[in-house]
Amino acid sequence: MSPDPGQVLSFWFANALGSPEAAKDQGRLWFEQSDTFDEEIRRRFGDLPERAARGEFETWRSAPRSTLALVLLLDQFPRNLFRDSPRAFEFDAKAAAVASGAIAAGFDEKLRPLEAVFLYLPFEHAEDLELQNRSVELFEKLCLRAPELLKSQFEEFADYAHRHREVIRRFGRFPHRNALLGREPTSEESAYLGLGGEVFGSGHANKGDA
């Protein structure tokens, strides 16, 4: 039996769409490590990213919010379920493809700004300069329609997009992923990380774990 995308959205956003205070509280679960939150995702949704990648939920792509739920399964949930594992990035290409289709259909304009953040994050996670450029453009535009009380938070989202793009522009990939993915670092990458280069919360942050 197919799960309900509404269950995914209700779990992920909880009361975050109701007030700035609730959004900030929920943000701590999204963007900081919480073993309890990870375990709850595993218990309730643990098999869904694989099923989504196999195409079991393609009907979700017919509407804005169900498409958002599908992107969450492919982009965010693996970062909780497979933290500190190469599998955290296994579904990124599929997530970006689903998000691209949603934006082409204008679905992002029908979502609330805080919801749209998670439709755009697959581009920020991509080791691809074209997608990184798209990420920056989308997050900058999103700032213009962000609620006034959350303006600073949305400016931070845009800042993260710029910082991710700069790393991809410089290296073509995220150096902090190299060890996890078994990639041989270049001398420049090693020097960069050794001098405190960006790791985007690797190992603990969800959004930031590029």
Q: 57-66, 72-81, 89-98, 146-155 — which is least confidently predicted?
A: 146-155
> Contact 164/128 with Cβ under 8 angstroms?
no
What's domain 5-194's superfamily in CATH? Answer: Tetratricopeptide repeat domain (1.25.40.10)
Q: How many CB atoms lie within 10 A of CB 68?
A: 28
Give the sign of the dihedral formed by CA 93, CA 56, CA 99, CA 121: negative
Tell me how far apart the alpha carbons of residues 74 and 53 are, in angstroms, rounded to a whole number. 7
Could you tell me the pLDDT band of residue 2, with boundaries at 50, 70 and 90?
confident
Residues in the chain: 210
pLDDT tens per residue across span 109-136: 999 999 999 999 999 999 999 999 999 9
Residue extents of the structural domains in the chain? 5-194
Could you tell me the pLDDT band of residue 204, with boundaries at 50, 70 and 90?
very low
pLDDT tens per residue across span 140-185: 999 999 999 899 999 999 999 999 999 999 999 999 999 999 999 9
Q: Please work out, in degrees rounded to the nearest 5, the angle formed at the alpha carbon of residue 23 by the alpha carbons of 32 and 163.
A: 55
DSSP 3: P
The amino acid that residue 10 corresponds to is S
* Whether pLDDT at 201 is above 80: no
User: Radius of gyration over alpha carbons of the chain, in Å?
Assistant: 16
Tokens coding 84: 């500190």
DSSP 76: I
* Whether pLDDT at 1 is above 80: no
